[in-house]
Amino acid sequence: MIHFITLSIFPQIFESPLNYSIIKRAKDKGLVKFSHYNIRDFTTNKHKNVDDAIYGGGAGQLMTPQPIFDAVKYIKQEYGDIKLIFFTPKGRRLTTNLVKEFAYLPDNNITKRFILLSGRYEGIDNRIREYLVDEEVSIGDYILSGGEFASLIFIDTVTRYIEGALGNKESLKDESFNDSLLEYPQYTRPANFRGMKVPEILLNGNHKKIKEWQIQKQIEITKKVRRDLLGEI
């Protein structure tokens, strides 16, 4: 099982999204577990502040070290030493390979835990990175208003790669990024929807021809929108 422990000033963000579909089922099957901690609950400051101005100037505020250090200490006292992941655009890009590494469990009886730290404001005091953070992860080259959405994406994608989390119908086999190619187009009934037709080749039951068509489409689509996946820039 993987136990995802989130650390954020908005723990309520995590409530709804983790209660549906594949993640909900994985939770019910005991493959994942969640705990959400509010950083603000750990502040010793009488105004309950968790942020402060930046030394040397600069716009905005940074998250202060005290509540985060104390929250992490509390969590580690509870569960032992755990890898802490901080979500930031400055981190390693989250890819299928990295997701598989995080999702890997040598044995189904082992509980693997992650603390997922979400920043807000302009970021966090650098001492948190230096002394607490084990790994920095980015979900893409854009700036989010906070790390909570990155944490949710991390949880969602890592959960899908835990053995037993997907049913046959949702198999990982034919998805985009396998073989570094994007997925081919797919259609369902009806074969003719208001004059818009499903490609003939998919209707004739020739599996070899269908497979060739699918691969050709994968290459076409990947060349068009993601040449970088083919090793071309």
Q: Footprint of ligand ADE on this chain (CB under 6 A)?
A: 87-89, 138-140, 142-144, 147, 150
Please report how close the Cβ of residue 90 comes to ligand ADE at its closest, in angstroms.
Answer: 9
Please report how close the Cβ of residue 157 comes to ligand ADE at its closest, in angstroms.
Answer: 13
The closest of 11, 29, 12 to 21, measured between CA atoms, is 29
Of 31 and 117, the one with the shorter C-beta distance to ligand ADE is 117
Please report how close the Cβ of residue 143 comes to ligand ADE at its closest, in angstroms.
Answer: 5
Of 140 and 190, the one with the shorter C-beta distance to ligand ADE is 140
Contact between 172 and 161 under an 8 Å Cβ cutoff? The reply is yes
Please report how close the Cβ of residue 196 comes to ligand ADE at its closest, in angstroms.
Answer: 37
The closest of 163, 161, 7, 14 to 82, measured between CA atoms, is 7
Of 31 and 94, the one with the shorter C-beta distance to ligand ADE is 94
What sign does the dihedral 168-93-135-59 (CA atoms) show? negative
Give the H or E element holding residue 28.
Answer: helix 21-28
The closest of 63, 30, 59 to 147, measured between CA atoms, is 63
Of 4 and 184, the one with the shorter C-beta distance to ligand ADE is 4
Q: Tell me how far apart the alpha carbons of residues 16 and 86 are, in angstroms, rounded to a whole number.
A: 22
Of 92 and 197, the one with the shorter C-beta distance to ligand ADE is 92
Q: Tokens 């723990």 identify what position?
A: 11
Of 93 and 227, the one with the shorter C-beta distance to ligand ADE is 93
Please report how close the Cβ of residue 84 comes to ligand ADE at its closest, in angstroms.
Answer: 14
Please report how close the Cβ of residue 121 comes to ligand ADE at its closest, in angstroms.
Answer: 11
Contact between 87 and 139 under an 8 Å Cβ cutoff? The reply is yes
Reading the block at residue 120, the tokens are 């807000």
8-state DSSP, 143: -
Give the H or E element holding residue 169.
Answer: none
